[in-house]
Amino acid sequence: MLVLNSSFISRFSKLGAGLQIVRRLSVGKDLDLTGIYPPIPTPFNSDESIAWDKLKDNIKKWNEFPLRGYLVQGSNGEFCYLTEEERIEMIKVVKSLSPDKLVLAGSGCESTAATIRVTNKMAEAGADAAVVVTPCYYKGKMTIAALEDHFTRVADASSLPVILYSVPANTSIDIPVELVRRLARHPNIIGIKDSGGDVSKIGSMVHVTKGENFQILAGSASYLLSALAVGASGGICGLANVLPKEVCELQTLFNEAKMEDAKSLQHRLIAPNAAVTKVHGPPGLKASLEWFGFYGGPCRRPLQPLTESETKNLENAFKENKYL
């Protein structure tokens, strides 16, 4: 009779669990992210409660366009002002309203443990992949080693494939190419949303991750065409909330090699995109939504509504490019 001691059983159990994890995680690399995703805003009522009816109306309208899916709880979703319960419920509602779209869940938190917990709750709510932003409160301590440890532990424990999220304008932290190269080897890290705006970096990431089934998504419509030209798979673009048809059309024109038309369209998207994202942020996005038949509504405080002059500046960016 073969007697197995507890040490052997423990090692065998860990090996078996590890193999199961590897098998589960490897599936994520097959998820094709190609396409355009608006990072949808969270609609609020005047009392700052979530306007679920308005969210449903917006999703119904967005579903009419050839968007690949939605990023829920990205920077434009004001995720940092929402409770964990609200963030999870947003995923559940959006997925129920758009079962044929990919739902990318912004699950990043400041601690690794919280990020893992929220990511797996979002998986249970129906998300297809997690978009994990760099923790940044202790940005002086967010060394390459700290970031690598954070993303690796999240990817190891996540029941969703993980997309890295680099947004230095908000976090003051940019994930360097060399770290992206190493993280791309992880079986459950499938891509990155890069909002830094450095197209040469996007090209470098495409180059060094070749063969890893790793996909780069441009974080803005202002450089979408350039990003596609150096190998990006698509974009998570704030302007796609407001002009979904046009942002999707830009990728279609690129795919069809209609470069003159693509360049012309890209040029017309730059100023509205800058006004909605870089200049005015979520208040600007919400104000512009109202002009195109969507619900924008207020932001949660301390974000403030646009002033009269800011609203005029935003409006001019659309008018000058013949969108209003």
Active site (annotated) includes residue 92: no
Q: What percent of the chain has pLDDT over 70?
A: 92
**What is the rounded distance in angstroms from the CA atom of residue 161 to the CA atom of residue 155?**
7
Tell me what the mean pLDDT of segment 265-285 comes to.
Answer: 97
The CATH architecture that domain 27-256 belongs to is Alpha-Beta Barrel (3.20)
- Whole-number mean pLDDT of the chain? 93
Checking if the pLDDT of 89 tops 70, the result is: yes
Give φ, ψ of 200 to 5 degrees.
-65, -35
Q: CA 196: distance to chain centroid?
A: 13
* Beta carbons within 10 angstroms of residue 99's beta carbon: 8
Contacts of 83 (CB under 8 A, 6+ apart): none
Question: Which of these is catalytic: 29, 101, 121, 193?
Answer: 193
Of 68, 111, 106, the C-alpha closest to 90 is 106
Using one digit for the tens of pLDDT, what is the confidence trace for 202-253?
999 999 999 999 999 999 999 999 999 999 999 999 999 999 999 999 999 9
Using one digit for the tens of pLDDT, what is the confidence trace for 4-59?
444 433 443 344 434 434 434 445 899 999 999 999 999 999 999 999 999 999 99
Checking if the pLDDT of 178 tops 60, the result is: yes
pLDDT computed for residue 107 by the predictor: 98
Using one digit for the tens of pLDDT, what is the confidence trace for 129-154?
999 999 999 999 999 999 999 999 99
For the chain, give me the number of helices (H) and strands (E)?
A: 13, 9
Residue 206 near residue 231, CB atoms below 8 Å: yes
Count how many Cα atoms sit within 13 Å of the Cα of residue 18 in the half-sphere of its side chain.
Answer: 6
> Whole-prediction pTM value?
0.91
**What is the rounded distance in angstroms from the CA atom of residue 206 to the CA atom of residue 216?**
7
**Per-residue pLDDT band at 75 (split at 50, 70, 90):** very high
pLDDT computed for residue 35 by the predictor: 98
pLDDT computed for residue 324 by the predictor: 97
Domain parsing of the chain, residue ranges: 27-256
Helix (H), strand (E), coil (C) string for 189-204: EEEEEECCCCHHHHHH
User: What token pair was written down for 164?
Assistant: 């890295």
Contacts of 232 (CB under 8 A, 6+ apart): 202, 206, 215, 216, 217, 218, 224
Per-position DSSP letters for 193-247, written without gaps between them? EE-S--HHHHHHHHHHTTTTT-EEEES-GGGHHHHHHTT--EEE-GGGGT-HHHH
